[in-house]
Structure 1
Amino acid sequence: MARARSLELDHYVGHLIRRAEQVHTALWATHVSREITSQQFAVLNALARQPGIDQRTVAAAISLDRSTVNHIVRRLTDQGHVTQVRDESDRRRTLLNLTPSGSRLLETLIPPAERINERLLEALPEPERATAVDILRKIACMDDTLPNEDARPAR
């Protein structure tokens, strides 16, 4: 029986990124929140940075597809953390804002989110940390050169 070709997964970037994401997700659930995901956090953070933006702008700001952001916004709205208001100048757009509850929630999530970021970087020697973040940013920015959002697989 012929042996199938295989990859050494510990040298395969996609596999390592997925494993790193698993570590991040476990740290997030343990140290930040089991109720609010890091994607929900990203939406809350985007709305704190740019109050009154629409879902399309949020999706672009945090690199998530529009349908995922729609689901997250609905959930955060149902929980009372986000408000949705029709744009009077363009009735097709819905503008989003944090509620006072959403602002308070974000404030409580930021310190532990910063701590897990530091913890992840502690896996590297100090001189390599900024370089690692730069490399990850370059890989993440490859998203800007991929085909349009509708042609991308869901994340």
Structure 2
Amino acid sequence: MGVFRIRVFILYIYFCCSFLYSVPNVSGQDNKCFNCTELVNCKASQYFLKYVDSADKNKVVLKTPADKADPILEKCLDEGFRINDTLKGTLCSGSTDGLCHAIGQATGSQSVLFSHCGNCYKECDCYNQNGIDRTEGAIILTMSLAAFYTLIQ
């Protein structure tokens, strides 16, 4: 009977951890320019825009004279544009500094932040610019799945 209780407890822990990692951060309702270390040397033209989620396509619009500057997104988005709604996915953008930037819904979750940065690393073609093949994400995912599988057994 004790082995059964331990397995149920391990299963309970597994589902709790899975739930915590799969629930998005609901407190962030604004867009944020993320400070991605992966994108430090990744170049993109000033007018580069790549939408990872097609639902975000009409959310970047030209600024009007009445629009105020947004200090949060100023460094990541070309100065002639603004975002008029909260993004569902990742927006990869070039700006006046000539680098690629990741913009998305504000979050405190490291896994979501890693996802935004990884999406732009791919979309801005940083693989070819830096000559580095990034496989850490796949390795971490494989190790996590193996650990969870081991706990269930």
Give 1 or 2: higher helix fraction. 1
Length-normalised TM-score, structure 1: 0.27
Higher strand content, 1 or 2: 2
Structure with higher RCO (Cα < 8 A, 6+ apart): 2
Bigger Rg, which one: 2
